[in-house]
């Protein structure tokens, strides 16, 4: 393996580390929220420092890669994609951190019925599986897998849009539930954002592998990859 390849490989490993860190944050926040476990939430909050530190490290290492190795073609697309992926993952971690903060701030747990009405768990699990998918796509440079997340994102979007309607109706029935529903709505918005971030990551992976830019395109069909 050449020197450049070694450095690139270590960059990829750092990216993977970031994936796993943020995935864990999301899992822990979900667990903490559903079981109202404030200790677990504290863990997430403390781990946020690690996320930030890793974000900075990857940024620095990417800059160094470009300065020292003047990468071109695939190497260049890889490092440009990694910078953006890193940025998106940091935002994912941030959202998980936000959920954990809610748990600390709110004393009472949420009524499980409300969760069912909003398809809350389904949405969270969908997001988690998207993250898992995109992580696998990243590890294996698999653009087919990357494209799969678009479909799952549609589910998230649907649940998000529905939530507004459901909450509207439910609050009219029982105004006391407004506090809980508001909290749930914030978290649903966060999860919807996480879904968007993951589709961004998918775009970056596809750009890196195929030099095709899907950003700002209206239709995101499942297409046959080049090569």
Residues that bind another protein (CB under 8 A): 2-4, 63-64, 67-70
Q: Nearest-CA neighbor of 92 among 41, 150, 21?
A: 21
Cβ closest to another protein, residue 16 vs residue 56:
56
How far is C-alpha 94 from the chain's CA centre?
9
Shortest Cβ 75–another protein spacing (Å): 12
Shortest Cβ 215–another protein spacing (Å): 27
Answer yes or no: are the C-beta atoms of 132 and 23 closer than 8 Å.
Answer: yes
Cβ closest to another protein, residue 14 vs residue 38:
14
Q: Which residue has the tokens 């494209």?
A: 147
Cβ closest to another protein, residue 67 vs residue 73:
67
Cβ closest to another protein, residue 21 vs residue 58:
58
- Provide the 3-class DSSP secondary structure of residue 19: helix
Q: Exposure of 76 by Cβ count < 10 A (0-12 exposed, 13-18 middle, 19+ buried)?
A: middle
Shortest Cβ 60–another protein spacing (Å): 9
Shortest Cβ 4–another protein spacing (Å): 7
DSSP at 218:
S
């Amino acid at each position: 393996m050449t020197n450049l390849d070694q450095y690139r490989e270590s960059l990829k490993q750092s990216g993977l580390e970031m994936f796993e860190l943020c995935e864990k944050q999301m899992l822990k926040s979900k667990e903490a929220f559903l079981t109202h476990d404030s200790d677990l939430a504290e863990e997430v909050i403390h781990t946020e420092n690690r996320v930030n530190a890793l974000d900075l490290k990857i940024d620095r290492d990417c800059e160094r890669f470009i300065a020292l190795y003047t990468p071109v073609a695939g190497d260049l697309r890889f490092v440009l994609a990694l910078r953006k992926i890193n940025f998106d993952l940091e935002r994912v971690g941030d959202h998980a951190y936000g959920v954990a903060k809610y748990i600390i701030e709110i004393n009472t747990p949420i009524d499980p019925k409300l969760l069912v009405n909003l398809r809350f768990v389904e949405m969270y699990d969908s997001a988690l599986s998207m993250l898992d998918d995109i992580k696998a796509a990243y590890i294996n440079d698999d653009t087919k897998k990357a494209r799969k997340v678009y479909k799952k994102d549609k589910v998230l979007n649907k649940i998000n849009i529905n939530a507004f309607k459901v909450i509207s109706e439910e609050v009219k029935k029982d105004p006391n539930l407004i506090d809980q529903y508001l909290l749930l709505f914030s978290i649903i918005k966060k999860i919807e954002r996480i879904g968007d971030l993951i589709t961004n990551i998918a775009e970056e992976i596809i750009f890196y592998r195929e030099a095709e830019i899907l950003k700002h395109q209206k239709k995101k069909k499942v297409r046959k990859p080049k090569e």
